Structure 1
Amino acid sequence: MNDWIDETLHPDYRQRLRAARMIYDSRTDHQRLQVFENPVFGRVLTLDGVVQVTEGDEYIYHEMLTHTPLLAHGAARRVLIIGGGDGGMAREVLRHGAVEEVVMVEIDASVVEFSKKWLPGISAGAFDDQRLRLEIADGADYVATADARFDVIIIDSTDPIGPGETLFTDSFYGRTRQRLADGGILVTQNGVPFLQPEELRGTMRAFRALFADATAYLATVPTYAGGPMAFGWGTDGQARETPEQVLEGRMGAAGLTGLRYYTPAVHKAAFALPGYVSRLVG
């Protein structure tokens, strides 16, 4: 098989990935799931035709969305992940031995079971860790009804279409803010700002009303095409000012070896925004 898969996320721009072999193609109660083999990126997972994760470059996304807030915080014990059904985010969070509990809220149980079977290397055993508590529920409902507080909250959402749409609203961000402990940090997936400027602009408008420190940071993930990817950052503390040498010390204390993208120097540099992104942040 040598079909080409068109990603249909953007109306005026598309990328294509060669499917050397289609491994799985089916529809769940929430969305269409496909996994295919690509010679460069390995196994590729798409939801409703949009690339979610690939074996080849997933480490960039997962390392930057976990280690950046966790090492900046320095004392995170409880972490909430909204989304993240492939298990990659939980895998990276659980590398921090000081983390005592990770609550992962995923709307679609099929994504979790599917990922365990077809993409096991991404979770790498995270679902078997006793510190992980998996909740199959709507993330927006969870933050509206839960009474727990978390040191770090990671929104590992799909794009703001379909099931992920509610995870980009002002009301969701406001309720998520209430789930943060003192000094807590909220980070979000905010797409590629060159092609999805309103996604970042809307999140930052909400964050500026909620947090003393509201900004974004960047990472380049090849399969999220169109430029660097943005991650929202919100906190009332001074965690963003953590010196590079302190990050290095925390990284060593956590035993974080073998990372392929994140470094303390990259951490600091990721907050240096080009002009067009800085204007979206406001």
Structure 2
Amino acid sequence: MELWYTEKQTENHGITTKITETLHSEKSEFQQIDIIQTKQFGRMLVLDGMVMTTDVDEFVYHEMIAHVALNTHPNPKKVLVVGGGDGGAIREIVKHESVEQAVLAEIDGRVIEACKTHFPNIAKELSGNPRVSVQVMDGVKHIHENKGAYDVIMVDSTEPVGPAVGLFEKGFYQGIYDALKPDGIMVAQTESPWFNRDLIKRVFRDLKSIFPITRLYTVSIPTYPSGLWSFTIASKQYDPLEVDPDTIKDLDTKYYSPELHHAVFKLPKFVQELTRD
């Protein structure tokens, strides 16, 4: 008998993939955590029925949430990841020699532990790296307790349901602004331009009302709804479009590159429209 997993991505659309076994399944205090073995994408992390990451395509998301902002800031020393319990963003952050401390604020410690066991390549920097601080706590609370502390803050959240709802609200973004240093930068995953247009428009508008520089960029992630995914970067001082590609060092990446740094901001017209008032 063939086994298939289907994520219902909208009321009218889903993605399905053949699986061989369930490696881990538990109900944590915050969400349902499942790790399944798929034929096409290797191991897959699913939270509350939504695909979060896979062995095969994880590098796209983790590289692109991290390196655009970190290469826009001229000297990032202290970096925060809100969410991101799989550890992939942290893995990419510590590739930057200037970073002295990378802090993970993840509300669900069970996600961290499950990923350490089943995704060792993604979570490899969560244990034993003196530059990494793992804090199992509410990221919103951490933001409000650390005013002016960070050079870069990354919001590596699940979809805007359940424990992640507050990570898409204007008050949270204002809290991030306050937690950043005077020349700080933030970046957040902001869902699919095909299925989440209203959310992208609202987030972009909210960030633009707080930060002087706000940009939207897109990447290709096959296991995410529609395959086209967006990130929104907001900066107090530095513009990602003004970065000289010749200054970007080789960071042993698979997706991100100096040439791509600028290219991802070239948006299709229907996506450009989401950034206009």
Q: Please classify the TM superposition score into its range, dividing by the shorter chain length.
A: over 0.9
2:241, 2:201 → 1: CA distance?
23
Which residue of the other structure, out of 260, 266, 277, is the alignment partner of 1:266?
260
Deviations 1:24-77 (A, max 9, x none): 122111111111111221000000100000010000000111011101112101
Which amino acid in structure 1 is aligned with residue 90 of structure 2? A
Shift of 1:148: 4.7
Shift of 1:225: 2.9
Shift of 1:3: 1.5
Shift of 1:208: 1.1
Could you tell which deviates more after superposition, 216-225 or 44-53? 216-225
Length, aligned pairs only:
276
C-alpha contact 2:192 2:225 (8 A) present in aligned 1: yes
Between Structure 1 and Structure 2, the one with more helix by share is: 1
C-alpha contact 1:82 1:154 (8 A) present in aligned 2: yes
Deviations 1:212-262 (A, max 9, x none): 11121110011013141000110122332334xx3343314xxx13x1100
SS of the residue corresponding to residue 210 of structure 1 reads coil
Match of 1:103 in 2: 103
SS of the residue corresponding to residue 7 of structure 1 reads strand
1:42, 1:237 → 2: CA distance?
40
Match of 1:250 in 2: 248
Shift of 1:146: 2.3
What is the root-mean-square deviation of aligned Cα atoms in Å? 1.4
Match of 2:55 in 1: 55
1:238, 1:145 → 2: CA distance?
25
Match of 1:230 in 2: 230
Shift of 1:118: 1.3
C-alpha contact 1:94 1:126 (8 A) present in aligned 2: no
Alignment of 1:28-107 (within 5 A): 28-107=28-107
2:66, 2:55 → 1: CA distance?
17
C-alpha contact 1:86 1:112 (8 A) present in aligned 2: yes
Identity of aligned residues (%): 31
Could you tell which deviates more after superposition, 233-242 or 49-58? 233-242
Alignment of 1:1-282 (within 5 A): 2-243=2-243, 246-252=244-250, 256-257=251-252, 259-282=253-276
2:68, 2:126 → 1: CA distance?
19
SS of the residue corresponding to residue 122 of structure 1 reads coil
2:8, 2:31 → 1: CA distance?
14
Could you tell which deviates more after superposition, 188-197 or 145-154? 145-154
Shift of 1:110: 0.4
Stretches of structure 1 lacking an aligned partner (at least 5 in a row): none
1:125, 1:139 → 2: CA distance?
19
Stretches of structure 2 lacking an aligned partner (at least 5 in a row): none
C-alpha contact 1:193 1:199 (8 A) present in aligned 2: no
SS of the residue corresponding to residue 56 of structure 2 reads coil
